[in-house]
Amino acid sequence: MELILKIEELRLELNKLAACKRLADRELVLVSQRLDELLNEYHRLILEQQSK
């Protein structure tokens, strides 16, 4: 559940940054990459649970 909260926090932060910065802005890209990492982690956890 904590992972889902982190994903939601980063999603909100990314949306806020995207509203006021260029899409190529370094900060925006870093937040986007971190969100991608968390989403990949979440996806792996789901796949693990399904394979049990």
pLDDT tens track for 1-52:
899 999 999 999 999 999 999 999 999 999 999 999 999 999 999 999 999 8
Would you state the structure tokens that stand for residue 33, as one six-digit string? 């990459």
Q: Which pLDDT score is estimated for 52? A: 83
Sign of the dihedral defined by the CA atoms of residues 16, 17, 19, 23, in that order: negative
Q: Which pLDDT score is estimated for 51? A: 92
Helices and strands, number each (H, E), in the chain: 2, 0
pTM: 0.90
Q: Residue 52 and residue 6: Cα distance in Å, rounded?
A: 25
Would you state the structure tokens that stand for residue 22, as one six-digit string? 């260029």
Would you state the structure tokens that stand for residue 21, as one six-digit string? 């910065």
Return the ∠ at Cα 15 (arms to 48 and 1), rounded to 5°.
30
